[in-house]
Amino acid sequence: MAQPSARSALIAVDVQLDFCPGGALAVSGGDAVVAPINRLAPGFGTVVLTQDWHPAGHLSFAANHPGAEPFSTTEMPYGTQVLWPTHCVQGSPGAGFHPDLALDAADVVIRKGANPEIDSYSAFFENDRKTATGLSGYLADRGVEEVWLAGLATDFCVGFSALDAARLGFRVVLVEDACRAIDLDGSLARMMGEMRAAGVEIRAAAEMAE
């Protein structure tokens, strides 16, 4: 798995303005993922972009829980939910991709998080772990056997996508330096541990041939 092949998919997760510096849920250094993703994309048989795409009334927003502070947590029917600042509202400028992201390289865009009652970190399933986005079938139909993950944020949407991909039976590579993390209360270290335990291979973009 040293290099990607025709049977490899690159999944660039949530490279959107709200997760970049100046955005509503800015990830430190978030815009630094754009250059390595653009450099890697041509080597893959399939390139997937994901786009966090919430209605304004989404229940993952602290603003929709009177009195709740952003980054506090609440219990939802499917488990503990972090209450985020309002971000990636459908059709808003912050929901748009970073302007330098090479959109022409993408085969498909998966939008997630549209159900106001359920958050959706993973590119494959909503946080109830049952409602599918359709990406798994799309990749299977194209003969994809391994997925490489990059984007934002390592400890939430990228990590959940990597764990689901491993669970679905894909070989999984995390391109660590083509990701950036939110790191909320140790969430980055926890997610890196979970990914390693699930057999996710951790690599650096620089190791890949030009």
Q: Where are the alpha helices (DSSP H) in 62-186?
A: 135-141, 159-167
Residue 112 annotated to the active site: yes
Contact (CB, 8 A) for 196 and 190: no
Tell the burial category of 210 from Cβ atoms under 10 Å away from its Cβ (0-12, 13-18, 19+): exposed
Q: Which of 159, 116, 162 is nearest to 135 (CA)?
A: 162
> Which CB atom, from 34 or from 208, has the smaller least distance to ligand VGL?
34
CB of 179 to ligand VGL, least distance (A): 10
> Which CB atom, from 52 or from 176, has the smaller least distance to Zn ion?
52
Residue 31 C-alpha from the chain's centroid: 14
Choosing among Zn ion, ligand VGL, none, which partner's interface includes residue 153 (Cβ < 5 to 8 Å by kind)? ligand VGL
> Which CB atom, from 84 or from 124, has the smaller least distance to ligand VGL?
84
What track of x and - describes contact with Zn ion for positions 36 through 55 (by CB under 5 A)? ----------------x---
Contact (CB, 8 A) for 123 and 144: no
Tell which one of 124, 125, 156, 170 touches ligand VGL (CB under 6 A): 156
Residue 164 interacts with Zn ion (CB under 5 A): yes or no? no
Task: State the residues that interact with ligand VGL by CB under 6 A.
Answer: 14, 19, 52, 84, 121, 152-153, 156-157
